[in-house]
Amino acid sequence: METSDRYIDKDAVIKRITDLKKERDAVIVAHMYQNPDVQDIADTVGDSYALSKYCASRPESTIVFCGVHFMAESAKILSPDKTVLLPERYAGCPMADMITAEDLREFKNEHPGYAAAIYINSSAAVKAEADVIVTSSNAVKIVSRMSEKNIIFGPDKNLGAYVARQCPDKNILLWNGFCPTHHKIKKEDVLNIRSQHPDALLLVHPECTPDVTELADYVGSTKGIIDFATQSDRSEFIIGTEIGVMHRLEVENRNKGKRFYLMSPSLTCPNMKRTLLESVLRSLENNEYNIEVPHDTAERAKKALDRMMELGN
Ligand code: SF4
């Protein structure tokens, strides 16, 4: 476990979290982009949809979701009767905020006959306007299996461009959103780190720009990247996704002699890093911040998620 000097008495904080978790009948889940300290105290670590499904399968009545706002909303949609807490009120996702429900309604009205495939990194209100939801691991499969040829894809134009390259028979209109963390990586960053580690495989997330994904040996979700590196018989990897994944890679590949190089030090999502151990403790102490999704919105968003499940099976 990594140590941190941010906490006055880290062990005491962890002990109090463990005690309160029992008292509150809570489960703690953490996204792979969370701080290592937070990942280490979570009951499970994963990507957003896997965590939401995990929460729905658990008996606890309270979910502490260490991630960003749209993820906690997804957990609430799948577990409407449970209390879902987001430890940091302002842990949002700038990409999710690049499209509103009204934006999507207008865009659909301007393009009649198009079906909306919406990335799970979106608000519950936007999901409610979608025809189907996709994740970064299943987007290509879902879009290729959709009966509609004309598709609106949003909010991430980079993931959308990657899907369009893999699904040439579809006519895909991209919303102009992007993840500020992945989008800022330039082709020059990749060429630079590749020249330093010529034997390393380049694994990147599809939220990176087409200039970057075109250079990659593997393009996939955070879980896909971790599984690929863990199962590979190669020993060096350049990682093109958020820095939190480096901790998971180290944990899952302990003593295997593998080396991981972050593609750029700027691959840090400030919103994911808002949550600290103290945030989790405060969340359990004060029951904050309670995430609610209006019933009608949750029902419509759930339909789009259910269609993802049907097409993904
Ligand atoms: S890494 Fe990007 S997509 Fe993920 S929460 Fe941060 S801003 Fe949003």
Residue 289 has pLDDT above 80, yes or no: yes
User: Rg for the chain (alpha carbons), in Å?
Assistant: 19
Does residue 301 lie in a domain region?
no
Residue 1 has pLDDT above 90, yes or no: no
Does residue 48 lie in a domain region?
yes
Which parts of the chain are beta strand (E)? 26-31, 44-46, 62-66, 83-85, 115-119, 132-134, 150-154, 171-174, 201-204, 218-219, 236-240, 259-262
The partner residues of 96 in beta bridges, in order of sequence, read none
For residue 125, the CA-to-ligand 1 centroid distance in Å is 18
Choosing from 131, 160, 178, the residue where a domain stops is 178
Amino acid at position 113, single letter: G
Residue 202 has pLDDT above 70, yes or no: yes
Residues within a 6 A CB radius of ligand 1 = 33, 68, 93-95, 121, 179-181, 242, 269, 271-272
For residue 115, the CA-to-ligand 1 centroid distance in Å is 24
**What token pair was written down for 243?**
């820095």
Amino acid at position 285, single letter: E
User: Do 212 and 174 lie in a common domain?
Assistant: no
By percentage, how much of the chain surpasses pLDDT 70? 97
CATH number of the domain residue 204 falls in: 3.40.50.10800
Residue 313 has pLDDT above 90, yes or no: no
User: Do 83 and 134 lie in a common domain?
Assistant: no
Does residue 59 lie in a domain region?
yes
Residue 135 has pLDDT above 90, yes or no: yes
Residue 2 has pLDDT above 60, yes or no: no
pTM: 0.95
Number of Cβ within 10 Å of residue 204's Cβ equals 26
Write the pLDDT tens digit of every residue in 292-306: 999 999 999 999 999
**Structural domain of 54:** 10-92+272-286
Choosing from 138, 160, 178, the residue where a domain stops is 178
User: Do 251 and 187 lie in a common domain?
Assistant: yes
User: Do 23 and 49 lie in a common domain?
Assistant: yes
Instruction: Identify the CA nearest to 213 among candidates 146, 140, 117.
Output: 140
Q: Whose CA is nearest to atom 6 of ligand 1?
A: 269
How many domains is the chain partitioned into structurally?
3
Q: Average pLDDT, whole number, for the chain?
A: 96
Mean pLDDT of 47-76: 96
Distance CA 285, CA 282 (A): 5
User: Do 80 and 153 lie in a common domain?
Assistant: no
Does residue 292 lie in a domain region?
no
Does residue 237 lie in a domain region?
yes
